[in-house]
Amino acid sequence: MELCENLSGTLCQKRFFQRKLKIKNRKGEKNSKPLPGIITLPEKLSIAFGKEIMSIRILLIIIVALLNSAYMNPAEKKDKYIYYRVKKIVDGDTFWIDDGSQKGLKIRMIGIDAPESRNSGTRETAFFGKEASDYLSSLIAGKKVRLEYDAGRLDKYGRTLAYVYLEDGTFVNAALVKNGYATVMTVPPNVKYADTFVKLERKARNNKKGLWK
């Protein structure tokens, strides 16, 4: 209070408390920290931005799931493919499946040609025809198969053209060519596996398999 010797008592006290308040305020500014439980503006912005990113990610996941379901064949089952029971073997490259209709569906395998196993209106029984028919029967008779299509779905006889697979993944068209029970027959526009069949036929011929003996 010695600084106030030349001032009146009331004014001196006023000056003293003003100086004390200023010092206290300066200390408060230096030591100021956010109180526990209080979120600062930068933290609020960070939280809001994080929530927005999370929302975008969730939205993208939903979009991808919808796109996948949109492009999936409606006829496909839980395991992605639909399988049909083989009803009857016609010859080494043709057979009937049970598609739910009364008659069934006649399938002609794409990209291959097996020797005729019986006389028909235009063809006679060919060399190795019975062996080819017996091999196909041993491979798929009574079993379930799935069908894969190419650009053309039907031939001029109304038969369904398909690549055929067993439940264990065996590619039946390829197996017939690989083991010498069928030759390559490429009919555009169904050429998806033409190169594969050509390579398999060449290998079967070199190894003298089946009809190449």
108 flagged as catalytic: yes
Q: Which of 26, 29, 85, 116 is catalytic?
A: 116
Catalytic, 159? Answer yes
Q: CA of 5: how far to CAs of 9, 22, 72, in Å?
A: 9, 21, 96
Of 5, 200, 4, 212, the closest CA to residue 112 belongs to: 200
Distances (CA, A) of 189 to 122, 150, 155, 173: 25, 8, 11, 17
Q: Is 146 marked active-site?
A: no
Q: Which of 131, 148, 159, 205 is catalytic?
A: 159
Catalytic residue, chosen from 29, 108, 118, 205, is 108
Closest CA to 132 of 93, 169, 104, 79: 93
Residues belonging to the active site: 108, 116, 159
